[in-house]
A and B are shown apart, each in its own frame.
Chain A
Amino acid sequence: MANMNSAAERPATERPAAERSSPVERQGAQPREFDLSRDALRQLNLFLHKDAVRDGVGQVRVHNPDGAHSIACGLNAELDVQIHGHVGYYVAGMNQHASVTVHGNAGPGAAENMMSGRVHVKGFASTAAGASAHGGLLIIDGDASLRCGISLKGADIVVGGSVGSFSAFMAQAGRMVVCGDAEDALGDSLYEAVIYVRGKVRSLGADARYEPMTDADRAALKGLLTAAGRVEDPADFKRVASAKSLYHWHADADQEY
Chain B
Amino acid sequence: MCGIVGLLVKKPGLRASLGALMVPMLTGMTERGPDSAGLAVYTTPVADRFAKLSLYSGQHAVEWSALLGRISEAFAGEHEIATHGNQAVLTTSADPDAVVGWLKSHVAALAVLSVGQSIDLYKDVGAPADIARRYEFEALAGSHLVAHTRMATESAVTPAHAHPFTAGRDFCLVHNGSLSNPHLVRKHLEPLGIEFETDNDTEAACRFFEWRLREGDDLRQAVARGFRELDGFYTFLMGTQNEMLIVRDAFACKPAVVAETDDYVAIASEFRSLAHLPDIGHATLFEPKPEEIYSWQI
Contact = CB atoms under 8 A, between A and B. Distances in A.
Contact of A146 (B276, B286, B290): B290
A226 to B, nearest CB: 29
Nearest to B289: A164
B37 to A, nearest CB: 19
Contact of A105 (B255, B271, B273, B289): B271
Nearest to A106: B271
Interface in A143-173: 145-146, 164-166
Interface string B259-286: 0000000000011111110000000011
B173 to A, nearest CB: 23
Interface of A: 64, 66-69, 85-86, 88-89, 105, 107-108, 123-124, 126-127, 145-146, 164-166
Interface of B: 250-252, 255, 270-276, 285-287, 289-290
B252 A88 contact: no
Contact of B271 (A64, A67, A127): A67
Main secondary structure of the interface of B (DSSP, over half): loop
A88 B272 contact: yes
A145 B248 CA distance: 13
Given A127-B252, A127-B255, A146-B252, A66 B285 contact: no
B252 A86 contact: no
B270 A67 contact: yes
Shortest beta-carbon contacts, A-B, top 8: A67-B272, A67-B271, A66-B275, A86-B271, A146-B252, A67-B275, A67-B270, A88-B272
Contacts of A145: 252, 287
Contact of B270 (A85, A88, A124, A164): A88
A67 B32 CA distance: 14
Contacts of A108: 255
